[in-house]
Structure 1
Amino acid sequence: MLAVEGGVPRCLDCVDLGHLVFLPRGDTALTRRAREESALSAVVVRFDRRRGRYERQGVLVEESGLARAEERCLADAEARRRRRVRDAGRRAAEDVRFAEAFAARIRQLFPGCPEDRARAIAAHASARGSGRVGRSAAGRALSEGAVVSAVVASVRHVDTPYDQLLMSGVPRHEARRRIAAGVEAVLREWRADGVRADPAAGREVDAGCRGDR
């Protein structure tokens, strides 16, 4: 590990941090308490070249402070475990409600989209921690743009040879150009209200039940 001081990288001993111990990220309660119990602490980051940003790896804390933090965590471990279980249940219920609302919004914008397909798209797009469009601010607000983006992505991968084109070496932009008409055809069908007139019978029939589908 190196510390940057005045724009110059230096070893930890050089900046008086060599006596600290490294606590990896992952246990929020332990990290918070270790920093509370340490007179001196420092955040450890690593530059991710792929994402082009620094990402937190953990903290440096005093060994004695870490020991006291561990004792505090052990003392209320059961209470924190029960709280995590309750929080997990609450988040799961919230996720179910949000996925249902997302699916309903899909059906509102695309009445011809089959119910099970709308639910599948919603579940995929809104998965917690996925970073997909459903977890964005626009997605959480059920904006039309975010919902349409989720539907387009599903159609692209499920209803067109897009993935096969990518696997065969076709560049992404070219692959999208080739399947654009197919994607739009599915969207156009799903945007229909699902009902059409039957002149011969003088009644309306559900387009989703046509034998040619």
Structure 2
Amino acid sequence: MKRASTARRRAVDKALTLLLPWVPFADAEAIRAHVDDRKLRTLPPAIAVWLATISHVRHVHTQYDALLDEGYERDAARHFVVDEINAVLTRWRATRLLDPEVDDIGDDA
């Protein structure tokens, strides 16, 4: 995996701190690693951090994967975990929450 430039890493760190002031270290490191993914690397840091955060929270802190394993479609599973995602974001004092009516964030992030 290609490493991000120092300027990009600083911008990602700043965006992460602004979005999630109370994110635990282990989660922050996982989100930072996800931001380096080739699919997110070309996006502005704030957008990449948001997408990586939602993906991380969805897969690590919700029942999303279990719902998929039970046969739920992706859109239905996403719908059922929005409140769980927002609860985690709230605990981390996020400056933004997931709005299912506005945010269409897939697993491609």
State TM-score, norm by structure 1: 0.39
Structure 1: which 5+ runs fail to align?
A: 1-90, 194-213
C-alpha displacement of 1:146: 3.4
- Determine the structure 2 residue equivalent to 1:154: 56
- Determine the structure 1 residue equivalent to 2:83: 181
1:164 to 1:192, Cα distance in 2 relative to 1, 3 A? closer
Instruction: Answer 1 or 2: higher relative contact order, Cα 8 Å, separation at least 6.
Output: 2
1:116 to 1:96, Cα distance in 2 relative to 1, 3 A? farther
Please, what is the CA RMSD of the aligned residues? Answer: 2.3
State TM-score, norm by structure 2: 0.71
Q: Deviations over 1:122-167 (max 9, x none)?
A: 112213xx32x3x13xx3x323x43222211110000001011112
- Determine the structure 2 residue equivalent to 1:163: 65
Structure 2: which 5+ runs fail to align?
A: 96-109
> Contact 1:100/1:119 (CA < 8 Å) preserved in 2?
no
Residue 4 (structure 2) pairs with residue 102 (structure 1): no
1:192 to 1:151, Cα distance in 2 relative to 1, 3 A? closer
Percent of aligned pairs with the same residue? Answer: 34
C-alpha displacement of 1:192: 5.8
1:149 to 1:104, Cα distance in 2 relative to 1, 3 A? same
- Cα distance between partner residues in 2 of 1:115 and 1:96: 21
Which runs of structure 1 show a deviation greater than 3 angstroms over 4 or more consecutive aligned residues?
98-101
